[in-house]
Amino acid sequence: MKATINRRDFLRAGAVTAAGTAILPHLLTGCTSGPSATGHNMTLHDYLEHFGVTKNMIQDIIREGLSKGGDYCDVYFQHMIGNYIGLEDKSVNRAYSDVSLGVGIRVLKGDQTGYSFSEEISMDAMKSAARTAANIANSTTKVEPVAFESPKLPNYYLIKTPWEEVSINEKIPYLQQINDKVFALDNRIIKSNVWFMDETSYVLFANSEGRMTYDYQPMGQISVSCSAEQNGQKEQNGYNLSGRRGIEFFTPENIDLLASEAVKRTTDLFEAVKPKAGELPVVLAAGSSGILLHEAIGHGMEADFNRKEVSIFSDKIGKKVANDFVTIVDDGTNPNVRGSINVDDEGNDTEKTYLVENGTMTSYLHDRISAKHYGVKTTGSGRRESFRHMPMPRMRNTYMENGPHKKGEIIESVKYGIFAETFTNGQVMIGAGDFTFYVKSGYLIENGKLTQPIKDINIIGNGPKVLSDIEMVADDFKMAEGGWTCGKNGQGVPVSMGLPTVKVSKITVGGVNA
Amino acid sequence: MNTKERKDLAIWAVDYAKKQGATEVAASVYNSRSVEIEVREQKIEKIKESTTNGLSLNIYRDHKYSGHSTNNLNKKDLQTFIKEAVEATKYLSADDFRELPDPSLYPENLEKDLKIEDRSYLSVTPEDKVNIAKEIERVARAQSDKIISATGGYSDDYSESVKVHSNGFVGERISTSFWAGGEVTVKDDDARPEGYHWGGSRFFKTMPTPDELGKKAAQNAIRKMGQTKIASGKYEMIIENRAVARLLYMFVGPMQARALQQKSSYLEGMQGKSIASSKLTLIDDPFIEGGFGSRLYDGDGIAAQPRVMIENGILNQYYIDNYYGKKLNMTPNGGQPSNIRFELGKRDFDSIANDIKKGIFVTSFNGGNSNSTTGDFSFGVSGFLIENGKLVQPVNEMNISGNAKKFWQKLTELGNDPYPYSSILSPTMVFNDIDFSGL
């Protein structure tokens, strides 16, 4: 049912999603269309050949899309191959694969969008989809497509070995090693699940303004989840590493890290308590605490919401929203990070966008439609889940830059509060500005010291208010390592986030009442 | 491709995979069409039409198991795809529990009409659809001059699937659904609270009216004006019927065989014991006519059957699928949840609320999560403070927290008003003594 949750955007952590994830990634050693080349060395010619199309054919489809008077048309070819293998009850006993191939066709008339897609790369099927999308317009004006040019793009995710060249039997030992380590580390462990996921996407994009781009997008992820038992009490938690990476990322050090973090995060929960309910000072640990930014400000700065004036940030550009030492960016250019893109999903260059610079709100995140509405340059934030979806402004890697404080002095400044360290999910109501995130683990801070572990509490705050309540920012920035997926209007895209240690003077913390 | 061709393709895929070395195979071939429309300021903001096809295969090769899906149905490409899928499966570890269900569990009769297909799906015109969305926006916008944005929406879908197993199961299913609704944002000082309301039906003719949808969407936004957080404390909690589903996942996850077998269920060992207040009787009913979760067989092809999951607070049974059922040595009973309905109370929301001296009426949850292993939970909430039976103040930015083991024992009353637009047909529910965090 697509009917509900529209403007309530959510974020999900890869680690905690249990085995039966809805999407079935995969394991094949080669793909069905038999590409003549793989990986990032492919040329435009290779991409055209991969999809079995020519520039003239694409031009014809665009012309068809513009036939009803649309003022812009783009086409997005995608071939996606996902592989997924899983270990449960000590054996690698399941594998899934998914292949999807198709082309999305979009026609714009002003702010209006017509969209259709075809899963068959034949002229008849593509033209028929183009005619469907064309129907958004109904006028006699004719826009003539411009001859294609392909810009040279940067590459933020060079990898050594394309995933299609890694067969299933090369991946299996990773899972077994991690599982063995998990059980060797702590005799309270009773179950361990390990998943190895890789995905490769080939994208060819062209529009009626003559821009043609292509991109090879790899993604790798290993997730570990374990259950432990102590005196009849059970706990479960996990850890995962993800990025636009090849298999070389899974070094012996990272394999050790996966096992040791998963075990530590699970067994720490045995000692955990719940804080008292109410407004408390919250210190966010460096790293995945960037979830605060994603929810408190990131979604509200996506310009589609502001164009419709439904975001609490709709009138905040140019205004002072936080202390001088607060600078928040959304960046598509971080090497090998999960939310990085070489080019956005409407063919525009990506960039590092300043949302808040030295405490002042500077820019929204724009796609083509919103940039045109505001008369500004796009920020390269137009993203989509796949060829089956139309692009919209989305985050990439959202983080705060280092500030003037030290982690030690931040913790020492808190008399009673919480130190939030790991998270499972977050959500925001764009208009009211209420955002939440779920703290899986952390610590109580009592009299300036970390004392008992805490677990399973939701934090709820208001975006603009929390920004102005950021009291201290440390100099220990860290990017999240896990596989975060952001959901908006039914589309999921990979993102990342980061934060130095940060103190917020007060947020409402779920807890118990005396 | 028509139904017969889809069935032929599934049969071919099963045979072809067996020829490549698979011991057992399950194949599904599916097709779905959908339309999504969004209208703003009486103009189409977005319209999307899609048709998608696919084949998915479960391969069992000497008790080694893998699953695969593709949307490329070209026969030659499928041959390569299947060949590689069967080949790759041999690298996995054998698992004795990996096999198709016992054929005696398959449905004997697939004739029952669940009333989930509107045969007039194709005769609904694009103009009809756009007009519904426009009318919802128009009605919504007329409700208040505080409204700064209103959108009307419409979507529908048609889906068809054929499922074939190498040990005898053949199932076909066609379903439709039609949805419409609105989203409204109002200006309230600095904040811009939003409200929405969507409703749907398996049949175009029985969709809720644009008038109802537009008005409710607007009211849901307008009534939030002036919302604020109030003091932390223990309050009586009354939950709006459409919001209850979020809490039910605290049961549905831990009741599944996988959670039991993987030791991640707080309900392990609780069969036959009290897990909720005696007011709660929860029935999983796959045969509700027109239900959004109605079905004749589950994902394993096993016959669906009505199941009383919780009876007067006692956990009667778990959700058992084929694989984890074998691992646990429990008989599969129809897998994952279908429609969930409840033994209803006698009163509607108004008369229940009327008796509440001081409490919080929760209308929506915002984020939060629960821990299926321990039962711990914490959710963001918004709604209204109730005093002496009256909604006196909209509240937001608060959390509720607790543990599911105790929480469900605190259920004191169910309403007589099941929410119709979901597979979870929950009525209003009332709980006492709930931990709220606010100021």
The per-residue DSSP string of A2-28 comes to -SS-SSEEEEE-TTTS-S--SS-----
pLDDT in tens, B176-193: 999 999 999 999 888 888
Cβ-nearest to A436 among B46, B183, B366: B366
Q: Treating both helix axes as pointing N-terminal to C-terminal, what angle do B210-222 and B126-141 enclose, rounded to 10 degrees?
A: 40
Residue of A nearest to B191 (CA): A432
Cβ-nearest to B77 among A4, A32, A455: A32
Q: Which of A271, A302, A328 is the last residue of a domain?
A: A271
Q: Which of B132, B401, B432 to mutate to test the interface with A (most CBs of A within 10 A)?
A: B401
* Residue A514 maps to a domain: no
pLDDT number for residue A12: 54
Written as six digits, the tokens of A264 are 């530590």
Q: What is the Cα Rg of chain A in Å? A: 24
Write out chain A residues lying below 8 Å of B190, CB-based. Answer: 312, 464
Write out chain B residues lying below 8 Å of A167, CB-based. Answer: 88, 91
pLDDT in tens, B235-277: 999 999 999 999 998 889 999 999 999 999 999 999 999 999 9
B190 to A172: CB separation less than 8 angstroms, yes or no: no
What is the rounded distance in angstroms from the CA atom of residue A259 to the CA atom of residue B403?
A: 29
B194 to A312: CB separation less than 8 angstroms, yes or no: no
CATH of the domain at A14: 3.30.2290.10
Closest approach of chain B CAs to the CA of A189, in angstroms? 11
Is residue B142 within 8 Å of B173, Cβ to Cβ? no
Write out chain B residues lying below 8 Å of A191, CB-based. Answer: 262-264
Cβ-nearest to A278 among B126, B327, B438: B438
Written as six digits, the tokens of A284 are 């966010």
Cβ-nearest to A27 among B66, B71, B227: B66
Domains of chain B (ranges, CATH numbers): 3-31+49-105 (3.30.2290.10), 227-439 (no CATH)
B234: contact with A, CB 8 A cutoff: yes
B84 to A29: CB separation less than 8 angstroms, yes or no: yes
Q: For chain B, positions 133-192, list CB contacts with chain A under 8 A.
A: 148-149, 151, 155, 177, 179, 181, 183, 185, 190-192
Residues in chain B, total: 439
B191 to A432: CB separation less than 8 angstroms, yes or no: yes
Indicate whether A86 and A156 sit together in one domain. yes
Write out chain B residues lying below 8 Å of A101, CB-based. Answer: 71-72
Q: What are φ and ψ of residue B243, in 5° steps?
A: -90, -15
* Residue A432 maps to a domain: yes
pLDDT number for residue A314: 86
Residue of A nearest to B198 (CA): A3
Buried b / exposed e along B155-182 (16+ C-beta atoms within 10 A): bbbbbbbbbbbbeebebebbbbbbbbbb
DSSP A457-494: EEEEEEHHHHHHTEEEEBS--EE--S-EEEEETTEEEE
A375: β partners: none
Q: What are φ and ψ of residue B80, in 5° steps?
A: -60, -45
H/E run at residue A428: strand A416-429
Measured over the CA atoms of residue B378, residue A434, residue A7 and residue A288, the dihedral's sign is negative
Write out chain A residues lying below 8 Å of B177, CB-based. Answer: 1
What 3 state SS string does B178-225 have? EEEEEEEEECECCECCEEEEEEEECCHHHCCCHHHHHHHHHHHHHCCC
B350 Cβ contact list (under 8 Å, min separation 6): none
pLDDT number for residue B319: 97
Q: Give SS3 for B21.
A: coil
Average pLDDT over residues B83-101: 94
Q: What angle do CA A446, A451, A453 make, to 5 degrees?
A: 120
* Residue A3 maps to a domain: no
Is the pLDDT reported for residue B114 higher than 70?
yes
B229 to A508: CB separation less than 8 angstroms, yes or no: yes
B437: contact with A, CB 8 A cutoff: yes
Is residue A161 within 8 Å of A220, Cβ to Cβ? no
A7 to B200: CB separation less than 8 angstroms, yes or no: no
What is the rounded distance in angstroms from the CA atom of residue B211 to the CA atom of residue B367?
A: 30
Q: Which of B80, B91, B147 to mutate to test the interface with A (most CBs of A within 10 A)?
A: B91
Indicate whether A310 and A179 sit together in one domain. no
Q: Give SS3 for B129.
A: helix
* Residue A417 maps to a domain: yes
Indicate whether A290 and A155 sit together in one domain. no
pLDDT number for residue B158: 95
Domain count within chain A: 2
Closest approach of chain B CAs to the CA of A422, in angstroms? 13
Indicate whether A285 and A266 sit together in one domain. no
What 3 state SS string does A172-204 have? HHHHHHHHHHHHHHCCCEEEEEEEEEEEEEEEE
Q: Which of A271, A303, A337 is the last residue of a domain?
A: A271
Buried b / exposed e along B123-140 (16+ C-beta atoms within 10 A): ebeeeebbbbbbbbbbbb
What 3 state SS string does A386-403 have? CCCCCCEECCCEEEECCC
Q: Which residue has the tokens 């952001």?
A: A486
pLDDT number for residue A330: 97
B284: β partners: B307, B340
A431 to B66: CB separation less than 8 angstroms, yes or no: no
Q: For chain B, positions 348-377, list CB contacts with chain A under 8 A.
A: 366-374, 376-377
B227 to A432: CB separation less than 8 angstroms, yes or no: yes
What is the rounded distance in angstroms from the CA atom of residue B175 to the CA atom of residue B290?
A: 9
Burial label, B412 (beta-carbon count in 10 A; 0-12, 13-18, 19+): middle
Indicate whether A441 and A298 sit together in one domain. yes
Q: Which residue has the tokens 């609780």?
A: B270
Write out chain A residues lying below 8 Å of B51, CB-based. Answer: 119
Closest approach of chain A CAs to the CA of B95, in angstroms? 6
Write out chain A residues lying below 8 Å of B253, CB-based. Answer: 18
Q: How far apart are the first and last CA of chain B?
A: 60
* Residue A1 maps to a domain: no
Indicate whether A23 and A70 sit together in one domain. yes
Indicate whether A266 and A282 sit together in one domain. no
What is the rounded distance in angstroms from the CA atom of residue A169 to the CA atom of residue A167?
A: 6
Q: How far apart are the first and last CA of chain A?
A: 40
Is residue A475 within 8 Å of A242, Cβ to Cβ? no
Write out chain B residues lying below 8 Å of A135, CB-based. Answer: 47, 126
What is the rounded distance in angstroms from the CA atom of residue B18 to the CA atom of residue A37?
A: 31
What is the rounded distance in angstroms from the CA atom of residue B409 to the CA atom of residue B406?
A: 5
B88 to A95: CB separation less than 8 angstroms, yes or no: yes
Written as six digits, the tokens of A149 are 């040019």
DSSP B57-99: EEEEETTEEEEEEES---HHHHHHHHHHHHHHHTTSPP-TT-S
Indicate whether A285 and A260 sit together in one domain. no
* Residue A300 maps to a domain: yes
Closest approach of chain A CAs to the CA of B343, in angstroms? 24
Q: Which of B66, B80, B229, B324 to mutate to test the interface with A (most CBs of A within 10 A)?
A: B66
What is the rounded distance in angstroms from the CA atom of residue B65 to the CA atom of residue B300?
A: 14
Written as six digits, the tokens of A155 are 């590459």
Is residue A244 within 8 Å of A157, Cβ to Cβ? yes
pLDDT number for residue A27: 35
Q: For chain B, positions 192-231, list CB contacts with chain A under 8 A.
A: 192-194, 196, 198-200, 224, 227, 229
Identity of the residue numbered B418: P
What is the number of CB-based contacts under 8 A between chain A and chain B?
A: 302
Written as six digits, the tokens of A267 are 């067994």
Indicate whether A375 and A503 sit together in one domain. yes
Indicate whether A312 and A427 sit together in one domain. yes
Q: What are φ and ψ of residue A293, in 5° steps?
A: -70, -40
What is the rounded distance in angstroms from the CA atom of residue A442 to the CA atom of residue A351?
A: 33
What is the rounded distance in angstroms from the CA atom of residue B131 to the CA atom of residue A114?
A: 17
Closest approach of chain A CAs to the CA of B211, in angstroms? 17
Q: Which of A207, A236, A271 is the last residue of a domain?
A: A271
Q: What angle do CA A480, A484, A488 make, to 5 degrees?
A: 135
Q: What are φ and ψ of residue A420, in 5° steps?
A: -95, 125
Is residue A54 within 8 Å of A45, Cβ to Cβ? no
Identity of the residue numbered A357: E
Indicate whether A237 and A289 sit together in one domain. no
What is the rounded distance in angstroms from the CA atom of residue B85 to the CA atom of residue B90?
A: 9
B263 Cβ contact list (under 8 Å, min separation 6): A190, A191, A227, A229, A234, A236, B373
DSSP A138: -
Q: Which residue has the tokens 């929950």?
A: B426
pLDDT number for residue A14: 43
B147 Cβ contact list (under 8 Å, min separation 6): B140, B141, B184, B185, B186, B218, B221, B222
Q: Which of B388, B408, B378, B391 is nearest to B276 (CA)?
A: B408
B68 to A93: CB separation less than 8 angstroms, yes or no: no
Cβ-nearest to A310 among B192, B327, B368: B192
Q: pLDDT tens string for chain A (514 positions)?
A: 333 333 344 555 443 332 222 222 333 333 333 344 556 688 999 999 999 999 999 999 999 999 999 999 999 999 999 999 999 999 999 999 999 999 999 999 999 999 999 998 899 999 999 999 999 998 888 888 999 999 999 999 999 998 988 989 899 999 999 999 999 999 999 999 999 999 999 999 999 999 999 999 999 999 999 999 999 999 999 999 999 999 999 999 999 999 999 999 999 999 999 888 889 999 999 999 999 999 989 999 999 888 888 888 888 999 999 999 999 999 999 999 999 999 999 999 999 999 999 999 999 999 999 999 999 999 999 999 999 999 999 999 999 999 999 999 999 999 999 999 999 999 898 888 899 999 999 999 999 999 999 999 999 999 999 999 999 999 999 999 988 999 999 999 999 999 999 999 999 998 888 6
B88 to A309: CB separation less than 8 angstroms, yes or no: no
Closest approach of chain B CAs to the CA of A154, in angstroms? 31
B378 to A510: CB separation less than 8 angstroms, yes or no: yes
Indicate whether A263 and A283 sit together in one domain. no
Distances (CA, A) of A509 to A216, A406, A441, B367: 42, 24, 13, 13
pLDDT number for residue A306: 84
Residue A204 belongs to what domain range?
A: 8-271
B45: contact with A, CB 8 A cutoff: yes
B367 to A427: CB separation less than 8 angstroms, yes or no: yes
Q: For chain B, positions 8-27, list CB contacts with chain A under 8 A.
A: none
Question: At B208, is the pLDDT very low, low, confident or very high (cuts 50, 70, 90)?
Answer: very high
